[in-house]
């Protein structure tokens, strides 16, 4: 086992983060998002169920602080030195009256951070208000400020090595979707089909295996397809159902999303017309997308197609994607919607998800897309039309 990227790759990422810190006037950064920890150092373990942080300083090397039993993962997923891995003792695990962040804050004080300007990720799932307050109490003279999505924005433009990793994830996404296509039939239970699809997602290929996607695999069948994120059940698929699969592939925690729609039986005209509009909309999005184009203008290309068909979709149509841990694979930076005037950087990777959740039914079509200098290309090659199964 070894880190997924070279030392030079991680050194470049660290330099980008430190440059952003200097621009914002931060002496140190407290990272709570495990996806940012992974991107910055390669650290990978299911350790975010308990308090953990990574501290990065302008003159402090990235240092992971977390539970002692999870510290060993750093040895085979990162290039961190022993002094860059600081475990808190087991006596602090879920004990009344004490908190691991007190230990972490004491470590920060020992590194001379009291009185410094410290940025922290206030809007992540994993860094709790209690942890932040305990950290602050141990360096009481520091100036704490929300750093927003500083590290997330550094991740937006992917390196060639990251693009290759996501190409592998895209292959897995196609295999996973094909498994769903091959197995969906009337009287098959949703849970049985998703067991097969998830196995394919994790098995990957003979050359490279897969991980579990950060976003839970989703099945939208029949009436449940009228909403965006239903979970599978033990109900059986039925004749004349329209079924949307929102699946994907994951390789070394790099996620690629892929959504497609299946119909069991003869499709009606409403489905066929909606599908035609969505497929044209995807082509319009791809045609509008290249480096430098504003996100809102990509959305406008989609909206023009919807207007022509008299259809409506209120939600955004996409976002940046990459390294991710449950519960979400999005990078929480750009969104494709009216008003987002962020220019797309070259080598961004985005997930365009065209979900049409209608009254009593729904359908989806998505692509994970590599934004290039003069165009944009889909990472997974898979038919986009509604897959009709004659039953």
Could you tell me if 210 and 201 are in contact, meaning their C-beta atoms sit under 8 angstroms apart? yes
pTM equals 0.96
User: What CA dihedral angle connects 147, 149, 150 and 152, to 10 degrees?
Assistant: 160
Looking up tokens 């998703």 gives 194
The SS3 call for residue 42 is coil
Radius of gyration of the chain (CA): 22
Q: Are 184 and 243 in contact (CB under 8 A)?
A: yes
How many CA atoms lie within 13 Å of 185's alpha carbon, on the beta-carbon side?
6
Which pLDDT belongs to residue 359? 83
pLDDT in tens, 334-380: 999 999 999 999 999 999 999 998 888 899 999 999 999 999 999 99
From CA 298, how far away is CA 283, in angstroms rounded?
A: 11
Measured over the CA atoms of residue 321, residue 28, residue 132 and residue 40, the dihedral's sign is positive
pLDDT of residue 274: 96
Instruction: Report the interhelical angle of 295-309 vs 269-288 (nearest 10°).
Output: 150
- Two tokens at 63? 């240092």
Structure tokens at 130: 């209690």
Domains and CATH numbers, the chain: 7-154 (3.40.350.10), 160-389 (3.90.230.10)
CA-to-CA distance for 247 and 101, rounded, in angstroms?
Answer: 36
Residue 357 has what pLDDT?
Answer: 86
Per-residue model confidence as pLDDT tens for the chain (391 residues): 789 999 999 999 999 999 999 999 999 999 999 999 999 999 999 999 999 999 999 999 999 999 999 999 999 999 999 999 999 999 999 999 999 999 999 999 999 999 999 999 999 999 999 999 999 999 999 999 999 999 999 999 999 999 999 999 999 999 999 999 999 999 999 999 999 999 999 999 999 999 999 999 999 997 777 777 888 999 999 999 999 999 999 999 999 999 999 999 999 999 999 999 999 999 999 999 999 999 999 999 999 999 999 999 999 999 999 999 999 999 999 999 999 999 999 999 999 999 998 888 899 999 999 999 999 999 999 999 999 999 9
């Amino acid at each position: 086992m070894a880190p997924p990227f070279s030392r030079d790759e991680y050194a470049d990422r660290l330099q980008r983060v430190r440059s952003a810190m200097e621009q914002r006037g931060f002496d140190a950064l407290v990272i709570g998002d495990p996806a940012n920890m992974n991107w910055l150092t390669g650290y990978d373990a299911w350790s975010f169920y308990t308090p953990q942080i990574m501290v990065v300083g302008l003159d402090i090397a990235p240092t992971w602080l977390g539970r002692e039993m999870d510290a060993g993962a750093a040895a085979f997923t990162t290039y961190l030195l022993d002094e860059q891995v600081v475990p808190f003792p087991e006596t602090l695990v879920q004990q009344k009256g004490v908190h691991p962040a007190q230990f972490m804050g004491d470590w920060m004080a020992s590194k001379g951070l009291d009185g410094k300007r410290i940025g922290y990720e206030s809007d992540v799932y994993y860094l709790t208000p209690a942890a932040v307050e305990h950290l602050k109490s141990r360096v009481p003279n520091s100036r704490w400020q929300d750093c927003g999505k500083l590290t997330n924005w550094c991740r937006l433009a992917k390196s060639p090595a990251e693009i290759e990793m996501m190409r592998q994830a895209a292959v897995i996404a196609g295999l996973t979707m094909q498994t769903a296509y091959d197995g969906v039939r009337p009287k098959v239970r949703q849970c049985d089909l998703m067991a097969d699809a998830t196995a394919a997602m994790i098995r990957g290929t003979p050359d490279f295996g897969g991980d579990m996607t950060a976003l839970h695999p989703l099945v939208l069948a029949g009436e449940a397809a009228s909403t965006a994120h239903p979970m599978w059940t033990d109900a059986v698929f039925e004749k004349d159902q329209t079924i949307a699969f929102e699946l994907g592939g994951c390789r070394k925690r790099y996620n690629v999303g892929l959504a497609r729609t299946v119909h069991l039986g003869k499709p009606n005209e409403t489905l066929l017309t909606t599908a035609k509009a969505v497929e044209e909309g995807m082509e319009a999005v791809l045609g509008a997308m290249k480096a430098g184009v504003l996100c809102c203008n990509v959305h406008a290309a989609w909206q023009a197609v919807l207007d022509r068909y008299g259809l409506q979709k209120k939600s955004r149509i996409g976002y940046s994607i990459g390294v991710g841990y449950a519960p979400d694979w999005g990078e929480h930076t750009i969104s494709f919607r009216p008003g987002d005037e962020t220019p797309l950087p070259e080598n961004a990777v985005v997930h365009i998800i065209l979900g049409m959740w209608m009254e009593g039914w729904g359908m989806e079509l998505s692509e994970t897309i590599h934004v290039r200098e003069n165009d944009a290309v889909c990472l997974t090659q898979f038919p986009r039309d509604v897959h009709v199964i004659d039953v």
